[in-house]
Copies of this chain bind each other. A is one copy, B any other.
Amino acid sequence: MSTVEELKLRVRELENELIKCKQKTDPETPAHVRTKIEEMSAEVVDSNPYSRLMALKRMGIVKSYEKIRSFTVAVVGVGGVGSVTAEMLTRCGIGKLLLFDYDKVELANMNRLFFQPHQAGLSKVEAAEHTLRCINPDVVFETHNYNITTMDNFTHFMDRISNGGLEEGKPVDLLLSCVDNFEARMAINTACNELGQVWMESGVSENAVSGHIQLINPGETACFACAPPLVVATNIDEKTLKKDGVCAASLPTTMGVVAGILVQNVLKYLLGFGTVSYYLGYNAMEDFFPSMTMKANAQCSDMHCRRQQEEHKVATEHPKQEVVKEEEEVVHEDNEWGIEVVDEVTEDELQAASGPKPDLPEGIIPIYTIPPEKSPEDMVEETEQSLEELMAQMKKINLLA
């Protein structure tokens, strides 16, 4: 019954409606959409997305905020912590982001920030890239939809960490671990020890009420093979964590706080302001935030960690050689704020861990004990016996992201 004219009108109506709809989601649609900005400006106008960041210079906090554009950060794990971490870095105007994840967005993820219901079914890296590009098209994105712990992917992962910088062939400036399992953490640890790559670890407990961040500079601070990862104790019933076949709890609050303190530490490290934290815990039940530093272990089972320690020693003993960047930062062991962390870990508790005996402040506990014989750099060898043993250990672990 439709005439050609009626149909043509309908086509025009639909085209107009589609343009309006696309303007809401697609960064390429002209009106109301953020276009690329060649140079960061401090001009105070409503249309400048960088005015409030460049104001950090006038406020005396950061010397050169524009430097943010020269840095590349790799985010491994784009879940509850990783996605918010990537969003914060994108909004801060980071130069380049590499995103690694192999998971899909599910409605079950909607209790955390960032992903939205209409993205259910998409790969997390694909969905994240789309949203992040809309938010800030000045950032360069590189995404990898794979599991870094399989042999082939691990090789590719190592290659991208070494060569995926803003200028191809240069390494990334920092790697952030926002993964939810032990195996992925150990793969990152192995890669960073081998490459001498500075990285930061993050984690949130299975009961959703504690989390932490940790800076690892290979050769200087303890790696995951030097000492088990640490968590903030929450004094909850251990039995509730040990049940099989139940999902972990998570909260947007705890994950938002962990992402916030992680990216704050990244900004302080890259832009050189404030005190970079080596370990910062968050216990939501008590609003308790312990901090500490742990030196690398000379008897570490990871040969690359031991090599990095030798190199670090040479670099600090011969200061005309390049000194590792964060040596400039003040470690707040002598803290002026009067926060006192008391070592009350018993000898028995320390005996239970086969790694070094760190001076753990009250409320911080090792997450597992390291198997004495096996070397964790074997972790990425898929068929090694040690992997299965460590997989058994994994079940005891209550960290996720």
Contacts and interface: CB of A to CB of B under 8 A. Distances in A.
A195 interface: no
Interface stretch (A162-170, A234-242, A385-393): A234-242
Interface residues of A, number: 113
Interface stretch (A55-63, A317-325, A372-380): A55-63
B335 A121 contact: no
A22 interface: yes
Contact of A110 (B3, B91, B241): B91
Interface stretch (A41-49, A298-306, A352-360): A41-49
Contacts of A131: 116
Given A135-B116, A275-B286, A55 B249 contact: yes
A7 B10 CA distance: 9
A34 B116 CA distance: 9
B113 A61 contact: no
Contacts of A263: 252-253, 256
A310 interface: no
Interface in A8-51: 8, 10-11, 14-15, 17-18, 21-25, 27, 32-34, 44-51
A394 interface: no
Given A21-B18, A341-B338, A264 B284 contact: yes
A340 interface: yes
Contacts of A361: 338
A229 B112 CA distance: 31
A208 interface: yes
B24 A18 contact: no
Nearest to A206: B59
Please give the count of copies of this chain that the complex contains.
2
B44 A247 contact: yes
Contact of A59 (B134, B249, B256): B249
B273 A264 contact: no
Contacts of A67: none
Interface stretch (A69-77, A183-191, A216-224, A288-296): A288-296
B18 A120 contact: no
Nearest to A258: B260
A280 interface: yes
A362 interface: yes
A231 to B, nearest CB: 14
A111 interface: yes
Contacts of A18: 14, 17-18, 21
A47 B33 CA distance: 32
Interface in A226-278: 236-237, 240-241, 243, 245-254, 256-257, 259-261, 263-265, 267-268, 273-275, 277
Nearest to A134: B116
Interface in A82-107: 84, 87-88, 91-93, 106-107
Nearest to A45: B108
Contacts of A108: 45-49, 51-52
Given A32-B117, A341-B338, A208 B253 contact: no
Given A47-B108, A273-B285, A338-B341, 14 more contacts: A27-B117, A44-B247, A47-B107, A49-B117, A52-B249, A53-B250, A55-B246, A58-B249, A61-B208, A251-B264, A261-B287, A275-B287, A287-B289, A287-B332
10 contacts: A23-B118, A25-B25, A32-B120, A44-B247, A48-B107, A52-B112, A61-B236, A116-B135, A254-B260, A288-B339
